[in-house]
Structure 1
Amino acid sequence: MNARSFMGNTVHRGFSRNRYCVIFLFISLHFTYGDVSYSVAEEMKRGSVIGNIAKDLGIGIATLSSRKARIDTDRNDKRYCDINLSTGDLIVTDRIDREGLCGKKATCVIKEELVLENPLELHRISVHVQDINDNAPQFSEDMISFEITESAAKGARFLLTEAHDLDIGTNTVQRYNLQNNDHFTININTEGSGRKHSELVLVKELDREQEKELKFVLTAVDGGSPQRSGTAIIHVTVLDANDNAPVFSQVVYKASLPENSPVDTVVVTVSATDADEGPNGDITYNFDHATDEQVCLFSLDQKTGEIKVKGSIDYETQTSIELRIRAKDGPGLTSYCTVTIDITDVNDNAPAISLKALTNPIPENVSPGTEVGIINVRTDSEITEGPLLHSANDSL
């Protein structure tokens, strides 16, 4: 091939690519069809019907088989639903656990795709997973211990460990009940976020000479139907004088952390002070209600309050992490703070390309511009999708 013919062919192919790029943009608008959305309760049995997708999309039952309808996903993990080709029903095929999928997020959506062939057609499916009351409130410790001086005045308040419930909304903790006793009642406070915590309130002075210790039951109750509950024992040892609880320098600590931060990177240091002296003023720090994942990612120095990276941080898994820290002095008075860590992204993931093509052979005389497949290019934040077209310069 001479230089002139080579250059001419190059220009011609470059022009063709530009022309087909325009066609690609035009056809992609028609290639992905309407979306369909369903709502389903978590933990439904396998085989349960979510909805009739054939009816909702106006597709005949016979068409499902003839066009090889199937449910597909862009994720690498399991599929949670499938289509019954005999009825057109979208059915549950695997356990759907909202807490495992979405944690405490207010909304939880599973995204799937219905793929039809001949011609190739794609419908996006959104399955909104609704919470059920399948978790009971739990306290982080079975016994909540206090050492309270007999000189404590009526009205003195002692913050109690809050119960944790994996469910959301009304299915999470709604109230606390305290077993009847002569000395204490309970007060419930609700934060702006809706989180409820309780305080032990002294209503009758303690007398160490009459009672050296007290025990009664604290119960956390959720708002589900039926309701679930969890309990802890409050153990009060009556002593002579620890008048001050630790006080954090901040109620909320905020930090920013790149996802590729090495182990032992210092994230933030929390600090609390106690006006008492000696053992009454000695403070130790601990995580409160930390998940196994959080304990694997971060360490907390019990003496200094220094939080360090312990495991591998991944922005694609979590963009923000919240830790609850408890400061406790020698006799057991406590206070709490929240540490919010924003994970920042670094360029550590290459785009993932997936090709969805027709399973039937393509005739060699197929017309240019005919759709023969779909190419998905997935980055960390979005999916670019469009048809793969036959070009006049392509040989089959």
Structure 2
Amino acid sequence: MARRTALHCGLAFVFLCLHLVSGDVSYSVLEEMKRGSVIGNIAKDLSLDLGTLSARKARIDTEDSSVKYCGVNLNTGELIVQQRIDREALCAKRVSCVVKQELVLENPLEVHRINIHVQDTNDNSPQFKEDSVKIEIRESAVKGATFLLNEAHDADIGDNAVRSYSLQQNDHFKLNVKTKGAGRKYSELVLDKKLDREETKEIVLLVTALD
């Protein structure tokens, strides 16, 4: 008899879990969207009528008590931005950046997981580690000699990261832009005209990183 009772309790527990957590819904948003921006209509996407949202005290919650980045408008059923999302601060350079939120309905308790995929925007400029560097080149350097330059870094990813470099026009050097693994760009100076120390002791060049 005791075994039969234990079996019934186990089945009841599984049944409760299946009704507690409902299906996921996913959205894709750009980072840094303004507060109040509409992400999507979660009521329509979950086939919930507006009366149900109010009657069952719908609210947005989080799985791990983290930041509530969105809220729900009970009058329209829209999921809206409640706090701006900084993708770089949240996910650094990870390719996939997902914010997990929950739509909670009461009486009876019902939870819908919300996955918000945060897309990168070009909101950061490339930065060199140092504002200026000094390169010493012998007067005997031959035309075509190359000199590796420091790589610029960009907090953005993908198409919004560093795409190229440019060199201000000058009489002695040109610039080669190359690609490392994972598509990272770097550059090197190429001596295009032999140096004459008696003619020019110092040359100032301007290299710009482009994203």
Same fold? TM cut 0.5? yes
1:81 aligns with 2:81: no
Distance in 1 separating the partners of 2:139 and 2:184: 32
Amino acid in structure 1 at the alignment position of 2:109 = L
- Per the alignment, residue 163 of structure 2 pairs with 174
How much has 1:75 moved relative to structure 2? 2.3
Distance in 2 separating the partners of 1:173 and 1:37: 30
- Structure with more contact order per residue of length (Cα contacts < 8 Å, sep ≥ 6): 2
1:24 alignment partner, one of 5, 8, 13: 13
RMSD between superposed Cα atoms in Å? 1.5
Distance in 1 separating the partners of 2:100 and 2:21: 15
- Per the alignment, residue 46 of structure 2 pairs with 57
1:125 aligns with 2:114: yes
Distance in 1 separating the partners of 2:7 and 2:164: 65
After superposition, the Cα gap between the structure-2 partners of 1:76 and 1:31, relative to the gap in structure 1 and judged at 3 Å, is: closer
- Per the alignment, residue 143 of structure 1 pairs with 132
Amino acid in structure 2 at the alignment position of 1:51 = G
Amino acid in structure 1 at the alignment position of 2:107 = N
1:212 alignment partner, one of 189, 198, 201: 201
| TM superposition outliers: structure 1 runs of 4+ over 4 Å | none
Distance in 2 separating the partners of 1:208 and 1:75: 65
Distance in 1 separating the partners of 2:6 and 2:194: 87
1:214-259 Cα shifts (integer Å, max 9, x gaps): 002101111xxxxxxxxxxxxxxxxxxxxxxxxxxxxxxxxxxxxx
1:89-112 Cα shifts (integer Å, max 9, x gaps): 101111210001111111111011
1:314-370 Cα shifts (integer Å, max 9, x gaps): xxxxxxxxxxxxxxxxxxxxxxxxxxxxxxxxxxxxxxxxxxxxxxxxxxxxxxxxx
Aligned length: 211
Secondary structure in 2 matching 1:16: helix
Secondary structure in 1 matching 2:5: helix
Q: Which runs of 5+ in 2 are unaligned?
A: none
Higher helix proportion, which one?
A: 2
Higher strand proportion, which one?
A: 1
Q: Which runs of 5+ in 1 are unaligned?
A: 1-10, 223-396
Amino acid in structure 1 at the alignment position of 2:68 = R
1:107 aligns with 2:111: no
How much has 1:15 moved relative to structure 2? 5.4
1:95 aligns with 2:97: no
Secondary structure in 2 matching 1:143: coil
1:354-388 Cα shifts (integer Å, max 9, x gaps): xxxxxxxxxxxxxxxxxxxxxxxxxxxxxxxxxxx
Distance in 2 separating the partners of 1:134 and 1:143: 24
**% of aligned pairs identical?**
61
2:210 alignment partner, one of 221, 227, 236: 221
1:58-81 Cα shifts (integer Å, max 9, x gaps): 101011011111111022332100
Q: 5 Å matches for 1:263-282?
A: none
How much has 1:117 moved relative to structure 2? 1.2
- Per the alignment, residue 186 of structure 1 pairs with 175
1:19-51 Cα shifts (integer Å, max 9, x gaps): 312222244234322211111111111111111
Distance in 1 separating the partners of 2:195 and 2:6: 87
Distance in 1 separating the partners of 2:22 and 2:65: 23
Distance in 1 separating the partners of 2:83 and 2:126: 26
Distance in 1 separating the partners of 2:103 and 2:147: 56
- TM-score w.r.t. the length of structure 2 is 0.95
Distance in 1 separating the partners of 2:4 and 2:140: 90
